[in-house]
Structure 1
Amino acid sequence: MGGATLAAIFWRSLVGWAMPAKADRRLVASASCGVQMLGSLLFLFAAGDGGLGLLLAIALFGLGIGNATSLPPLIAQQEFSAAETARVVPLIVAIGQAGYAFVPAVFGLLRGGDVAGAGGLFFCAAAIQLAAIGCLLAGR
C-alpha cells in the first residue's frame, strides 16, 4: 500500500504540474484510468508471484489513485460556466463518494459469494475502469 500511495502522490503532483491549462482534461482522466486498468490487469498475471510483475502492478494501479476524485471537478471547471461549476462540483463529489462507499461491499459480496475469486475481482475492476474511459470519451 505504501508503494501505491507513493505512486499516487507522484502522479497527481506530476499531472497537476505538467497539465496545460487548455489540455483536454477528459483525455488526461482517460489516460489515468487506462494506466490504472493496466495495473489491475497486471495483478491478474502476477497472481501468486511476488516479483517484478507485482511491483509494476502496484505502481501502475497506484498512479491512478485519487485521480478519479481530483480530475472530474477540473473537467467540470473547463466545460461549465462558473455559476454552473459551483453546482456541478458538489454533485460530482456526492455521486463519487456514494460510489466509493459501496464498491468495497460489492467486491466483498462478489468474493464472498464465490462469484469471483481474487482474479475475477481484478478483472471486474479493469472492466469498470474501461467503462469509465468510455464514459469520459463519450462525453467529449
Structure 2
Amino acid sequence: MFRLTGLHVLAPVRLAPDSRFDLVAAADWFGLADRDGRADMVVTVSAGESAGLGGRVAEIRELARERAFGRMTVDAVPAGRVGQNGLAPPLAGELQTGGMRQTMAFCCRAREWSPDVAAWATEIFVDALRASGAAHPALITVSVPDTLP
C-alpha cells in the first residue's frame, strides 16, 4: 500500500510568481474538509548561507500564515530533522543542493493530509519566501512528523 510521508521541492524562488490569488482559492477548497479533521505536518526550509534567511523565521512564519488564510496553522520550531524519520533524502543532486543547510522549521496543522495538502503547503512557503524578497533557490520539505516537538 502506498502512503505519502512527505515531499521535497527544490524551488527557484526568484522565478516564482505571486501565488496569492491561487492560494486563496486553494484555501477555500481545503476549508471544505472535515472540520474535525486534524493533520500535523512539518515544513522545513533549507538554503545556502548567501540566501540571507538566517534570523528571518518570524517574518516567513507570518507571511505563510497570511497565505494559509486561516486554513492551516503555522508555528516555528527549532530547525533540525524533526518529523523527517523515514523520509527519503531529496533526489536533487549535490550540485543543486550543495551548501544548503536547514535554516528554519515549522509545525503546521491542516484538516487533512494528502498529496494535495503537501503541495499546497509547499506553495504557501514558496510564496512566503518570494514575498520576503528571497532570490536564491530553497529546498522545501513537507512531511508527516513521527512526533511533534
User: Which category of TM-score, normalised to the shorter sequence, fits these structures?
Assistant: under 0.3
TM-score in terms of structure 2 length: 0.26
| Structure that is richer in helix per residue | 1
By relative contact order (CA 8 Å, sep 6+), the higher-ranking structure is: 2
TM-score in terms of structure 1 length: 0.27
| Structure that is richer in strand per residue | 2
